[in-house]
Amino acid sequence: MYGSKFKKLISKQNLFAFVRTYGCQQNVSDSEKIKGLLLNMGCSFVKEKKDADIIVFNTCAVRENAEFRVLGNIGMLKDLKKQNPKLIIAICGCMTQQYSAREKIKSMFPFVDIIIGTDFIDDLRELIFKVFVKKYNISGEFNNNFIEKYLNKKLDENLTVHRDSKIKAFVPIMNGCDNFCSYCIVPYVRGREISRKPEAIKEEIENLIDRGYKSITLLGQNVNSYGKNLNGGMNFTELLREITKKKGDYWIRFMTSHPKDITKELIEEIAFNDKICKHIHLPFQSGSNRILKKMNRQYTREKYISIVEYARNKIPDISLTSDVIVGFPSESYYDFKQTISLVKLIGFSSLFTFIYSKREGTPAAKMKDLISHEEKSKRLDELLKLQREISSEFCSKFVGKKERVLLEEGHKNGLKFAKTNQNITVFLENYNDDYKDKFCNVKFTGHKRQGLTGIIQNR
Ligand code: SAH
Ligand code: SF4
Ligand code: F3S
């Protein structure tokens, strides 16, 4: 109903849209669906908010500072709205799944037109249409002021995806999370874990490879539990085997793996299947068994170490990355030292470090959090310093060697860059457009803080 009628109206107005994404790859992937939907409506995209007629913020709620950033940026839209009262502002994503955040947005920013939850991307068309009809004085049956939708609903499988890249694609294989780590808001904002059907995933990936995509990352909050709710479906390892039957020159990545569910079978598949990258993102969160228990992570430090030993034994060149939280309620300096010792023992190629952030509605929010912010920052600094040394040592082992890498689009700090199979960034000393979007052989010349440097030698 809203499709063709809206497309005609919008195309006539020549509307421009701007989409900003906060948070993890799950949101990046949702934003690609939002962009597909806007494109189908007849909108085109602009790079600056000031040039837009429709602004969509796809928000993240995982830590307090993520929410602060979103609120600050919504606030800045007020002036744009004053200059252009027809501007349509839609806020969606994980933040808007929470009652308190929705109320905050409504009371602080009454100029916001639409608030929708993560599962409502396919309804965004209808909602924008309603606001549009009113703002542009087009007679119609709609006369709403402010619209919100956020209750759980199943996401439409048939949404068009407008992909940001021509060579790298994110493919969600599941939605939601059932793990309820005690600090984490994700299960509350993303709902229960639902796996997509293997046939739909396979079809999407085969189509991407046929269109020239070279790096495909399968996404899920815990990919290792893929298939648990599919009656008679396949598990994650079987899914990987099925997908990689497709002929072609491509790499498959996946994230995130959960230590409680990762299997030996999966590690063996990574070892023997040359389409799967030799990299596992395996968050450990804390090195202390006492804290892991309070976090409800359902594994111990010893179990984590044994998984890593198994993986290193089967795949000697495996690269491991991880997430870690410092300053979880009641974390003593001794607990923190356990984290430090685990980081030293494992030798991650890189580490994503977070200071614990209290999330209302989670079990940890009720725990006494007596550690000062200053102490948490000190612990974070100690951890970061250690990890910088480890990453540097890890990278130095590559210098002088040659490897096949995939050129990335865009640049970092003005330099073209590529990714290795193990997901290490390589800043390129030479580049020309012949190499664009391709696999190339690179000789590593040195290393710096964020990765390696290298020279392309041939294709
Ligand atoms: N599903 C993934 C991670 C999702 S969130 C997993 O289980 O590993 C990404 C990371 O954010 C988490 O791994 C955790 O390290 C961090 N995180 C989540 N909630 C947090 C909180 N309340 N405070 C600080 N860091 C948090
Ligand atoms: Fe959050 Fe834990 Fe689920 Fe990851 S596994 S999304 S940390 S609840
Ligand atoms: Fe943030 Fe939602 Fe991802 S809370 S980390 S965008 S699942």
Please state the domain extents for the chain: 3-135, 163-277, 278-397, 402-458
Tell me which ligand sits closest to the C-alpha of residue 325.
Answer: 1
181 in contact with ligand 2, CB cutoff 6 A: yes
Cβ contact 388:396 at 8 Å = no
Q: Is the dihedral of CA 282, 286, 290, 293 positive or negative?
A: negative
Tell me which ligand sits closest to the C-alpha of residue 59.
Answer: 3
What residues does ligand 3 touch, defined as CB less than 6 Å away?
23-24, 26-27, 60-62, 94, 186, 189-190
Alpha carbons 190 and 192: distance in angstroms, whole number: 7
Question: What are the b/e assignments for 17-43, b being 16+ CB within 10 Å?
Answer: bbbebbbbebbbbbbbbbbbbbebbbb
Gap between the terminal Cα atoms of the chain: 50
Which atom of ligand 1 sits closest to the CA of residue 221? Answer: 1
pLDDT score, position 141: 39
Six token digits for residue 141: 């049956």
Would you say residue 140 has pLDDT above 70? no
Q: Does the domain spanning 402-458 belong to CATH 2.120.10.30?
A: no
Six token digits for residue 344: 């030293």
Tell me which ligand sits closest to the C-alpha of residue 298.
Answer: 2
Cβ contact 181:297 at 8 Å = yes
We find that the CATH architecture of domain 163-277 is: 2-Layer Sandwich (3.30)
H helix runs in 54-117, sequence order: 64-75, 77-83, 99-108
Which atom of ligand 2 sits closest to the CA of residue 190? Answer: 6
Q: What percent of the chain has pLDDT over 90?
A: 75
Q: Which of 321, 326, 330, 372 is CA-nearest to residue 349?
A: 321
180 in contact with ligand 2, CB cutoff 6 A: yes
H helix runs in 145-197, sequence order: 186-190
Higher local confidence (pLDDT), 225 or 142: 225
User: Comparing 163-277 with 278-397, is the CATH topology the same?
Assistant: yes
When mean pLDDT is compared over 29-43, 279-293, 402-416, the highest value belongs to 279-293
Q: The domain 278-397: what is its CATH number?
A: 3.30.750.200
Which atom of ligand 3 sits closest to the CA of residue 27? Answer: 6
Tell me the β-bridge partners of 168. 215
Mean pLDDT of 109-133: 86
Higher local confidence (pLDDT), 92 or 159: 92
Side-chain-side CA neighbours of residue 157 (13 Å) = 12
H helix runs in 112-249, sequence order: 124-135, 186-190, 198-210, 236-243
Cis amide linkage into residue 256, ω under 30° from 0: yes
pLDDT score, position 154: 56
Six token digits for residue 424: 């290490």
357 in contact with ligand 1, CB cutoff 6 A: yes
Q: Whose CA is nearest to atom 1 of ligand 3?
A: 60
The rounded Å distance from CA 63 to ligand 3 centre is 9
Burial class of residue 310 in the structure, from the number of CB atoms within 10 Å of its CB (0-12 exposed, 13-18 middle, 19+ buried): middle
Cβ contact 273:240 at 8 Å = yes
278 in contact with ligand 1, CB cutoff 6 A: no
Q: Does the domain spanning 3-135 belong to CATH 3.30.365.10?
A: no
* pLDDT tens profile 196-217: 999 999 999 999 999 999 999 9
Cβ contact 179:355 at 8 Å = no
Mean pLDDT of 223-245: 93
pLDDT score, position 302: 98
